Amino acid sequence: MARAKKAKAPEFDRDVWEYLTYAPGHECSACHRPIGALEPALRGAIDRTSGAPATVYRHNECPARAVAA
């Protein structure tokens, strides 16, 4: 009987945004302005030195997009 190959763990690039969502009340990680109730936002995560990664949100069309990460 043949053994099944082990599934390789997916690699995750933290520079890639996970998905587009709505995040009212959260602050944009680039421009630090609040995200509106019906304003699309990108969701991502940043690594921390200790503990689990922190979730961050950014405006889909943020004016500070090219400046800060």
- Measure the CA–CA gap between 62 and 41, rounded to whole angstroms: 9
Q: Is the pLDDT of residue 48 over 70?
A: yes
Its pTM surpasses 0.75: no
* pLDDT tens digits, 3-42: 655 545 444 444 578 889 999 999 998 899 999 999 999 9
What are the structure tokens assigned to 57, written together?
Answer: 């949100």
Q: What are the Cα distances from residue 16, in Å, to 2, 7, 39?
A: 37, 22, 20
